[in-house]
Copies of this chain bind each other. A is one copy, B any other.
């Protein structure tokens, strides 16, 4: 099983402003970035997101996920009609969730959203990270990374730079 992250951040490591705004980040989503995202998502079997990301995505004009989505939440009790039947809400720890997904035949999982990524990193369950940094300091907001109990070492696989200033680096966990 491979657990992957593909995410954009500011130069100072934020994935959104405190109010959720990502306009400063979306400005850099040119054709090249969209193509990289689509190539990446074509390799995954399922998405795992948290309630915060789920509620944000429900307000998007169209549903962005083309594979089944598992929402980790202890408070959600039902799936809004708009998201049905592509969404399953589960209340599980990261390790238990992966065990569950493996049992269902999933093998390549995309983990998205700040809080969920931090939980998976803390449990050392992330195998690959593709991080796209845009050349802006926003000074505060929702951080990509959080506290860890141990250092996590990665292998740098490659870095791609775009003419708009986005720097996208691909890392694999060294175990």
Residues on B with C-beta less than 8 A from A169 are 133, 167
- Considering the complex, which residues of chain A in the window 122-156 have a beta carbon less than 8 Å from any beta carbon of chain B? 131, 133, 135-140, 144-156
Interface set of A (CB-CB < 8 Å, partner B): 11-13, 24, 121, 131, 133, 135-140, 144-156, 158-159, 161, 165-167, 169, 171
Give chain B nearest CB distance to A108 CB in angstroms.
Answer: 22
Pick the residue among B139, B154, B155, B165 that contacts A149 (CB under 8 A). B139
- Of residues A121, A166, A171, which shows the largest number of chain B Cβ atoms within 10 Å of its Cβ? A171
A98 to B100, CA, bound (A): 59
Contact at B153–A136, with CB atoms within 8 Å?
A: yes
Chain B residues with CB below 8 A from A156, complex form: 135, 161, 165-167
Asked if A136 contacts B152 (CB within 8 A), the reply is yes
